[in-house]
């Protein structure tokens, strides 16, 4: 379990992020066309997992915009923007914002993702949503970098996450 805060108030997650040097677990998430994808669908690609509460918050939407800009400059890398938002909402957001360099994925069908990655918030008003986190892997799925943002209202350290890909 990890302790993070929301406006200074402590809240807990179900576990901890995968450790640097470990291999990410397989996962099942849903794309905007309602098809399901897993780890094997991104085989041979470096991955940046941008995990967050909801696109309906300013910090979460800012992280998607920022990673969308960065993704256009990354070779052999896929940025996965993951939340509990429905695929329809994710699609509307991306259309309205001109987001087309990241892959939005929803965990609405598979609650195991939050458990496997240790990001599901287990108490407070945000219970069931994901903590703001970033996980970066190499082409073999080995974790190069992780960050669970300690205060939900803060953005992740984009520079450190992207530097892990160099």
pTM: 0.94
pLDDT tens track for 35-91: 999 999 999 999 999 999 998 888 888 898 899 889 889 999 999 999 999 999 999
Q: What are the residue numbers of the active site?
A: 60
Residue the block writes with tokens 């108490």? 123
C-alpha to C-alpha distance for 40 and 146, rounded to whole angstroms = 21
The residue length of the chain stands at 166
pLDDT tens track for 4-31: 999 999 999 999 999 999 999 999 999 9
Architecture category of domain 16-151 in CATH: 3-Layer(aba) Sandwich (3.40)
The three-class DSSP label of residue 84 is: coil
C-alpha to C-alpha distance for 150 and 9, rounded to whole angstroms = 11
pLDDT of residue 61: 86
Q: Where are the domains of the chain?
A: 16-151
Neighbours of 43 (CB within 10 A): 10
8 Å CB contact between 53 and 154? no
> Which residues sit opposite 46 in a β-bridge?
77
């Amino acid at each position: 379990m990890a302790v993070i805060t929301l406006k200074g108030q402590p809240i807990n997650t179900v576990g901890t992020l995968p450790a640097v040097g470990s291999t990410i677990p397989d996962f099942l998430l849903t794309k905007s066309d309602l098809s399901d994808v897993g780890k094997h669908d991104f085989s041979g690609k470096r991955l940046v997992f941008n995990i967050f509460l909801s696109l309906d918050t300013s910090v979460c939407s800012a992280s998607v915009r920022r990673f969308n800009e960065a993704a256009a400059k990354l070779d052999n890398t896929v940025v996965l923007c993951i939340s509990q938002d429905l695929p329809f909402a994710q699609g509307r957001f991306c259309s309205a914002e001109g987001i087309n360099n990241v892959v939005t994925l929803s965990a609405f069908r598979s609650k195991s993702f939050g458990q496997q990655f240790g990001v599901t918030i287990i108490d407070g008003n945000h219970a069931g949503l994901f903590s703001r986190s970033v996980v970066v892997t190499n082409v073999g799925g080995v974790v190069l970098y992780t960050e669970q943002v300690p205060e939900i209202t803060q953005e992740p350290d984009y520079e450190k996450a992207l530097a892990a890909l160099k």
